[in-house]
Amino acid sequence: MLTDILAVVGGFVVWSVLWLGGSRLVLGLFPGAVKADGSVAHPGALAALLVFAALISAAAGYVVPLVSDGANLPLILGGLLLVVGIFFQSQSWKLLPLWYHLIFLALLIPATLWGAGLGG
């Protein structure tokens, strides 16, 4: 039970750390993509963020079977990422286009499960 909790928490921490540091690096590749009000409309920057989000979701999922072999743990992690993602996406709803929010959220669970499959 403790290893199951550690697996999910570990995956969540991996995702969070990579997102907080990496998203700034990704946006740095597109000068001027972030407007003064914090909005982003540059399609290349948004697409790069989506690819990055999918990759780090896979990395987070990859961690889970390395820590515990609980069958549903990757899905639990994906669900946790989705719930937290909905909260944070709602905070930036007016700063990013609707298509970005929807694709970002739609990728979280499948990418996490894909990464778990690679790790298991």
Closest by CA position to 85, among listed 34, 23, 31? 23
Residue 104 has pLDDT above 70, yes or no: yes
> In the predicted model, what is the mean pLDDT of the chain?
95
Residue 1 has pLDDT above 90, yes or no: no
Query: Can you give the pLDDT at residue 120?
Result: 63
* Range 98-119 average pLDDT: 96
Percent of the chain with pLDDT over 90: 93
Query: Can you give the pLDDT at residue 71?
Result: 83
* Range 10-20 average pLDDT: 97
Percent of the chain with pLDDT over 70: 99
Per the CB < 8 A criterion, the answer to whether 78 and 108 are in contact is: yes
pLDDT digits (tens, 9 = 90+) for 58-84: 999 999 999 998 889 999 999 999 999
User: Half-sphere exposure of 80 toward its Cβ, with a 13 Å CA cutoff?
Assistant: 20
3-state SS of the chain: helix, strand, coil percent to 5?
80, 0, 20
Query: Can you give the pLDDT at residue 119?
Result: 73
Residue 35 has pLDDT above 80, yes or no: yes
